[in-house]
Structure 1
Amino acid sequence: MDSSSLCRDLDLVAGNGCILTVEQRAALQVSLVTLKKTYKFTRVLFWGKILGLEHDYFIAQGRGEHEMKDRKNLYSLNCMDWFLLPTVTDSLIEEVSVAAKGRFKGDPSYVHDHSGRSPEETMETTKVDEEKRLAVTVHCIDEDVSVVPRGAFIKRPNGLVQINRCFGGLSDSEAHRLENFVHFSKPKGFKKSIPATGNWSPAADFLDTIDDDIPKGSWSLQFEGAGKVCVLRSLLWLGLTFYHVPMTPQHGYIYIGDGIKNIDLPFML
């Protein structure tokens, strides 16, 4: 959700429970502008909010020239003071998956730990602080369910992925089909976006579509606001809401949830 249109876009997803207080909106409008200038970001997104038992984490994402690679995630407890999240590595993801279970506490210094036996049958304790867990959670949500409309971004000959200034939005009929929405993350080699019209372009069709996501049925597609707003909800990461106004370039997504993946989804469908 682009910070420049924060209040307008929040109204589009308010029906899904994605709401902020007047004070939080006002604080974000000021602090995100400052954040952009401080870190020299090309643009800043309000990514969402992860709910904690004691405090909630507000997440912002700064982007540079390359929209997919030049990203930095930051968090705040008061919508004013922002702190960079640690860089996510494969080893950190593994540590978090072992040590961190249950709800977030709401304290970045809180330490999650887990004791278990190693392959050598010795007792080992894995510890990870909540700040690192938060970084991994934001990263995994982006990898799994960040969504954009087909054609909203283009890949230039030099490899840069940038906003497509010519994108005018999906048509009403296109917005009714999952094949016209793609993951905004590194392609994993699955089915690429190939429009039914056959109007394929390597500049626009370089991302994986969401219609073949496993398990089938992990997305809920609805039209709200008197049928004027296309809304996609992830059932894998409950709380992720994507929105798009057909025939306009207006789109984005926001996550407001507990930061726990719905691993029981295959048994619920």
Structure 2
Amino acid sequence: MEVLDLSYELSNLRYRGVTLNLDEKMQLEMALHQLHTDQAKEADELLFWGKITGIKNDYFVAMSVTYQGQFEFPFKRFYWCLSNDFSFKEMPDLNDQHKDFINNDTSYFVGEPSKKLIQPAEGEEAGEDPKEDEGEEGEEGGKKELDSDVSEQEEVKVPHKDLVEIDRLKYVVLAIENDCQIAPVGAFKMTSQHQVRRNEAFKGLDAKSSCDLRNYAHFRNVQSDEKKKRLDEPSAPFGRNFLEQ
């Protein structure tokens, strides 16, 4: 939802029982405008992404979209705030070390961003200690020196990190965005520089076309190899179906 049209866009959802109360709406609008002024001022668009209900506090999520200077697809950045403070912060980098746990976790969000869901086992916080090079004992009982010209390839291991609720929120938001974010075919165009822009000539779909799934595409980076090859063709900027359907 566009920040400037937030009140109007939310009114379209109230008939389905999905909306915000007056206090939430006013504080959310002020928080989004503050976010646009402080952190997302360089983005081309700032959108209200949605609300995720928690047991103690709810999460509100915003998304900024940058089109300029991005090759073949715009850059998305996500922000979050709680229902008890309405102060947006940028989401942390994705922690996918515990993706199997997150995929199997069906519990409710609590609304405590720093709540630990998984802690590393004792002694794993800093990763494994580096191994010291030991010389091999020779026939005379001495140690052979390692050849300085021979470099041994060491396995790089990433230290285990705690899984906190804000990490799970980022993972869930990205999963929903990847699978569910769609746009009508023709709503976006690709320029000759292979940059995506909104299509000013697009006036929307008629009632019949809007009910046909073939007229929609995923608004995400192209993931199939076939579609990636088509983007390398010279005619790619002149087609409408450069996104995956």
Mapped to 2, the partners of 1:134 and 1:37 lie a distance apart of 24
Measure the CA separation in 2 of the matches of 1:92 and 1:202. Answer: 42
The one-letter amino acid of 1:187's match is V
Conserved? CA contact 2:95–2:167, under 8 Å: no
Deviation of residue 101 (structure 1)?
4.4
User: Does structure 1 conserve the Cα–Cα contact (< 8 Å) formed by 2:54 and 2:110?
Assistant: yes
Secondary structure of the equivalent of 2:240?
Answer: coil
Please give the per-residue CA displacement for 1:40-96, whole angstroms capped at 9, x wherever unaligned.
122211100111111110001112225844211111113630111012265464564
Larger Rg belongs to = 2
How far the C-alpha of 1:131 sits from its partner, in A, is 0.7
SS of residue matched to 2:183:
strand
| 1:148, distance to aligned residue in structure 2 (A) | 1.1
Secondary structure of the structure 2 residue equivalent to 1:3:
coil
Alignment match of 1:77 (pick from 82, 98, 110): 82
Is the aligned partner of 1:61 residue 2:66?
Answer: no
Q: What displacement does 1:164 show? A: 1.1
| Residue from 143, 154, 159 that aligns with 2:189 | 154
Alignment of 1:95-174 (within 5 A): 96-97=102-103, 100-113=105-118, 127-174=162-209
What is the count of residue pairs matched by the alignment?
A: 193
Q: 1:70 and 1:201 mapped to 2: Cα distance?
A: 18
Cα offsets for 1:109-144 (capped at 9, x unmatched): 00112899xxxxxxxx98400011111111000001
Q: Which runs of 5+ in 2 are unaligned?
A: 122-159, 228-235
Question: Does the CA-based 8 Å contact 1:108-1:129 persist in structure 2?
Answer: yes
One-letter identity of the residue aligned with 2:170: A
Deviation string for 1:167-223 (max 9, x for gaps)?
11012221121111111112232997xxxxxxx9844211122xxxxxxxxxxxxxx
The aligned runs of 1:15-94 (5 Å cut-off) are 15-39=15-39, 40=41, 41-66=43-68, 68-78=73-83, 80-88=86-94, 90-91=96-97, 93-94=99-100
**For the residues of structure 2 that align with 1:26 and 1:51, how far apart are their CA atoms?**
18
CA distance in 2, matches of 1:115, 1:42: 40
RMSD over aligned CA atoms reads 2.8
Is this contact kept in 2: 1:95–1:126, CA < 8 A? no
Q: TM-score, normalised by structure 2?
A: 0.70
Distance 1:115 1:16, change over 3 A: farther
Q: State the 1:156 CA deviation.
A: 1.6
Instruction: Report what 2:3 is aligned to.
Output: 3
